[in-house]
Amino acid sequence: MKKTSGIVLLLVLAFSLVPVPAFAGKAELSLKYWHAGVSGADFRIGEVEEYKLDPLNGYESESVGTDTLMLQFGAGRSFILSGSYSLSPTVSLGVSYWGVNRASQASFALDNLGAEFVEEGSDEWGDYILSWSDRLYLITPPEALDWLICLDLVWDGAYESNYWQRWYGEDDYYGNNSEAFIALEGNLSMSALDVSGTMTLTGPGWEMGLSGGIRKAAFNQNRSKGFELLSEAWDRLINEEADYHYYDADKHVFSVDSTVNVSAIGPQVGIEGEYALADRLVLKAGAKAGLLFGTAERHAEITHDPWEYYWDGEEEVFVGWVPVEGAYFKKEYPSTTDTIRFSTYDLSVDLAYQITEQWSVEAGYYASIWSGVPSLVEVSVDADHFITWKKPEARTVTVSGLTIGANFKF
């Protein structure tokens, strides 16, 4: 917002200091509110399958459904600022700027807090009471899955989350619990600064302009993903012959961070037109196309932080979670800078109403389509199950939405 305010002030000062020829009287400023949404920059977190579980019948399960967890950037507030100055009745210089900043979060917890069922029965060890969560979750993370398999943290391509416990008496029971938590957050920013010259043709009730100039564009995106796995097992037996208490737990915390920063500049051409629908009502439309050249800086890293629930044998107390000594793992994708090229296409349509000779208001639609934008670096696993990195193909990112604003001529 500070950058936008600075550009507004710069435009106002520039147009106020330039002497306006008698023929012109045509310096113009326009400010639009843009409710812009972003598409093409989404990211799939993973797949979560939910099953209804029945431990009393051989742990039979019935599929309830599958959800795809996505990180998406929703629509929000943005602004488009533009100004022009007439050098002659048919030639003008113009500048415009817009910027978009978005942040998003998504998470899912497989914590077995659903309904519990209790069943009484008996087996060769005596009467028992069995309690279990009635849901079984399988989560499939999209990154480094083969690596997690090698660590014995996932089976059959997914991590299983469920809970059960069996009692034979108040001090005689055992059970198991496994949980998972997955979270993702991301930030995205895009901006475009255009400087152009326009040649205008006019006719009865219409006006058309052909423009050429340069565009300076920036694209920045970062993504941070966390994946936490928890496994617990316990056993308790106290009677005349034994006093046994066992508890074991381990936790694995994974994170994957990736960043891409793009800066580019290049030529841009455009066409725009106006048509008078009524005395004060004007239909406007425009299109621009640019070919930009620049650089893309990328960086990424993955970490694995294993923890264990520590038992102090001397004090006979549980100390709590402590990191597994010497087990912390981190691998980086070194920062790289690549030469890139991508194209941009902007489309606009507006309906304007002239309030006075100087003031008008308008509402419409604006879209900017960037084709060939570099993607974030992602984690991959080679044939020997070692972590490596991959650069996905370039993508098309679109920013579009409704606009409303005001124009002032002076």
Query: In this predicted model, what pLDDT tens digit does every residue of 299-343 receive, in sequence order?
Result: 999 888 888 887 665 655 667 788 888 888 888 888 999 999 999
Q: What is the pLDDT of residue 400?
A: 97
SS3 content of the chain, % helix, strand, coil (to 5): 5, 75, 20
Assigned domain for 51 exists = no
List strands edge to edge, sheet with 159-161. Answer: 60-71, 43-54, 135-140, 159-161
Q: What is the pLDDT of residues 350-361, one digit of tens each?
A: 999 999 989 999
Q: What is the pLDDT of residues 217-247, one digit of tens each?
A: 999 999 998 888 888 888 888 777 777 777 7
Q: Kindly tell me if the per-residue pLDDT of 9 is higher than 80.
A: no
Assigned domain for 191 exists = yes
How far is 175 from 44, CA to CA, in rounded Å? 34
Do β-strands 43-54 and 60-71 pair in parallel, antiparallel, or remain unpaired? antiparallel
CATH number at residue 288: 2.40.128.100
Kindly state the tokens that stand for 129: 């009471």
Q: Kindly tell me if the per-residue pLDDT of 112 is higher than 50.
A: yes
- pTM as predicted: 0.82
Q: What percent of the chain has pLDDT over 70?
A: 81
Q: What is the pLDDT of residues 289-310, one digit of tens each?
A: 999 999 999 999 988 888 888 7
Q: What is the pLDDT of residue 5?
A: 46
- Name the E strands within 20-162: 27-39, 43-54, 60-71, 76-86, 91-110, 116-123, 126-133, 135-140, 159-161
Q: Mean pLDDT across the chain, nearest whole number?
A: 83
Q: What percent of the chain has pLDDT over 90?
A: 43
Assigned domain for 64 exists = no
Assigned domain for 320 exists = yes
What DSSP line would sit under 196-230, residue for residue? EEEEEEEETTEEEEEEEEEEEEEEEEEEEEEEEEE
Q: What is the pLDDT of residue 152?
A: 53
Quick one: residue 87, left, alpha or beta (phi over 0 = left, psi -120 to 50 = alpha)? alpha
Residue 366, strand partner residues? 348, 401
CB 267, CB 289: distance < 8 Å: no
Assigned domain for 166 exists = no
Assigned domain for 133 exists = no
293: nearest Cα among 220, 369, 217: 217
Which residues, other chains included, contact 222 with Cβ-Cβ below 8 Å and sequence gap of 6+? 186, 187, 257, 258, 259, 260, 376
Q: Which domain holds residue 293?
A: 2-42+71-111+144-152+181-409
Assigned domain for 135 exists = no
In the 8-state DSSP scheme, what is residue 98? E
How far is 293 from 214, CA to CA, in rounded Å? 11
Sorting pLDDT into bands at 50, 70 and 90, what band is 18?
A: very low
Number of domains the chain contains:
1
Assigned domain for 170 exists = no
The residue that leads in pLDDT, 249 or 140, is 249
Over residues 90-110, mean pLDDT: 91
